[in-house]
Amino acid sequence: RNKHADDLAIEAAVENELFVKEYNANRRFLAKWSSFKYEKSSKARIKRTQAYRKRYNIGRSSFVGYGVLLVSEHGAIGELKWGDNVKLVRELYIDYTGGLTVGNGVSFAEGTLVFTHGHSYMFRKKECLNKYNPNTFATPLTIGDNVFIGSRAIIMPGVGSIGENSVISAGAIVT
């Protein structure tokens, strides 16, 4: 083997180790804090919101309900940026693998699904998200200020941006 191949192998091992460490830490966090048990009292709900704000750098005056899952997949640690006064109601799945920016005053109603990465059959000409997983592609998403996303709405990979003051109705599929 040549030195370049050895260097690439070491780089891949280090990147994978960092991802696995972050992935496992995130899973432990979510197992603890997304639990319904924090619905017992307003004090417990505040404690949960504070934990999420600290871990994910969610802005001031925000609220996080139970069952909120924020995840990055496929060996990528996506960038996540939050505004202030964000409401994450309950039972949400938000993928930030490809990068997610959320503006001020954004509300996610219950059951919302958000995806920021896709697979090779979806995006033939996109740049690979992770050189060690060539079938996965970043589809960054920016959500503008004062957006309301209704119950059970699905935001699919490749949307790119949702403009300020938008309302996405319940059950909508945004492509």
pLDDT tens digits, 9-43: 667 667 778 888 888 999 999 999 999 888 889 99
In the prediction, which pLDDT does 8 show?
Answer: 64
Single out the residue of 94, 76, 80, 84 nearest to residue 34, CA to CA. 94
pTM: 0.86
The pLDDT of 141-167, averaged and rounded, is 97
- AA identity, residue 13: A
| Predicted confidence (pLDDT) per residue in 73-125, tens digit | 876 778 999 999 999 999 999 999 999 999 999 999 999 999 998 876 655 55
Beta strand segments in the chain, E: 63-64, 69-71, 80-82, 87-88, 93-95, 100-102, 107-108, 113-114, 117-119, 128-130, 133-138, 141-143, 148-149, 154-155, 161-162, 167-168, 173-174
